[in-house]
Structure 1
Amino acid sequence: LATAQYRSGGIDPSVQLFLSADPDDYLDKASTLDQLSAQQVEALKKIQDKQRQLAQQRAEATDKLKDLAATRTELGNKKKEVQSKLAEAQKLLNTLTAKEKAALAAEQQRANRSSSERVDLGNDTSASGRASAAFSAAQSKIGTPYVYGATGPSSYDCSGLTSWAYAQAGVSIPRTSEAQSGIGTRLTRSQLQVGDLVFFFNDLHHVGLYAGNGQVLHAPRTGTVVRYESMDTIGGPFMFGVRV
């Protein structure tokens, strides 16, 4: 094409046609050149579209990598926080006398035994349909051991139990207690109904299901099982409830 243009000397097409020895041949060639030019334009458009798609995919991949890096950092911080709390708990446990340790173990055994016994849930307002279904699902797991990070069906941690229970009711809620605290409608203690989520401690690291009459159904901590317990004996302050 460049050679043809050079040879033509940039003469106006109408003049070239006028001077051509074979006008029909000239018109055929001109038509072919127009077709080739149109094909080139179409090919260039496709290439540009692909380049835009690749640039968008590259940008999305970069954003995902940033999100993954942030998540990895957050998980690393959480792991350090948990390890620190475990170390503090172990340090405290090591300061107990043999008699105090025996008393603590006995108290834990009594709490676990009572988890399978009937609890007086009083006459609190009945739960909504899905909250009731979630609570019933959690009740079926009474006596199941606590395991940190577990989400069932043979073991649970606190938020693992609540997220599993609501999943049985057809409701998807976040995995961690901190994330669960940010959904639904926030409640005071007097507004709680059976099946509502209840959160404890200033950092909201513990969650359970309200059972009525000041009781909570939850997975307490390592060495315990899913059980009923008074909201006043959790070991940390009640912060608020959430209705999903």
Structure 2
Amino acid sequence: MNVPAFALSIVVLSFASLSYGANDQPPPLYTASIQSSSDAVNESDTSKRIILRAQELIGTPYKWGGTSEETGFDCSGLLVYLFRSEAGVELPRTTKVMINEGFPRIDRADLQPGDAVFFKHGDQGQVNHVGLYIGDNQFIHSPRTGKTIRTDSLDNRYWNERYFDSLRFTEESSS
């Protein structure tokens, strides 16, 4: 049976939302999935591939320092993996280096699917978390030890208050 990719994304995202623990924020009331090709307006083929692959990885365990499906992913390891495997783009390994590498900065109002969103959280006062923007104010990320890759909303109070900046790692994201 040939099922459209966006339909599978909805099933995967729905299943992933069942894994939230008591200490997590509740899942958003809606989940974003990549638009079907007939609805796509500003998504490049590269961004679509990156997002679809990220959606396939929802539910993969967080692993500090992890950069593969076999070991799990930390937040920056997830983006390094996605951009290398789906776009052939080599990214720096850590969020601190990513944010300072000179990639184009993107205003929050101008976010496009495939852009990277950065956050400051914890007591360190520095950028220490990154996710992949997928549209509709949603992003995919690998949150922390004991959790799995999931989708969250930039409208969520926690992430909204900790949002720092956004970068574009591919030229095609801006098409």
Distance in 2 separating the partners of 1:143 and 1:131: 21
**Aligned partner (choices 97, 106, 125) of residue 179 of structure 1:** 97
- Report the TM-score when normalising by structure 1: 0.50
- Does the 8 A contact of 2:115 with 2:166 survive in 1? yes
Deviations 1:172-228 (A, max 9, x none): 111111111134210011110001011011511000000111111110111111010
Distance in 2 separating the partners of 1:223 and 1:203: 22
Which residue of 2 is the match for residue 241 of structure 1?
166
- Does the 8 A contact of 1:124 with 1:194 survive in 2? no
Distance in 2 separating the partners of 1:195 and 1:225: 20
Which residue of 1 is the match for residue 142 of structure 2?
219
Distance in 2 separating the partners of 1:171 and 1:107: 35
What is the Cα deviation at residue 151 of structure 1? 0.6
What is the Cα deviation at residue 126 of structure 1? 3.0
Structure in which a larger fraction of residues adopt strand: 2
**Aligned partner (choices 127, 145, 161) of residue 78 of structure 2:** 161
4+ long deviations beyond 4 Å: 121-125
Distance in 2 separating the partners of 1:199 and 1:135: 17
Secondary structure of 1:221's aligned partner: coil
Distance in 2 separating the partners of 1:198 and 1:241: 4
- Does the 8 A contact of 2:79 with 2:132 survive in 1? yes
Structure in which a larger fraction of residues adopt helix: 1
Query: Which one is further off, 124-133 or 181-190?
Result: 124-133
Larger radius of gyration: 1
Secondary structure of 2:54's aligned partner: helix
What is the Cα deviation at residue 161 of structure 1? 0.4
From the superposition, tell whether residues 180 and 130 of structure 1 become closer, same or farther in structure 2 (CA, over 3 Å): farther
- Report the TM-score when normalising by structure 2: 0.68
Is 1:228 paired with 2:151? yes
Distance in 2 separating the partners of 1:192 and 1:183: 17
> 5+ residue gaps in structure 1?
1-103
Aligned residues: 137
- Does the 8 A contact of 1:215 with 1:229 survive in 2? yes
What is the Cα deviation at residue 132 of structure 1? 2.4
- Does the 8 A contact of 2:32 with 2:134 survive in 1? no
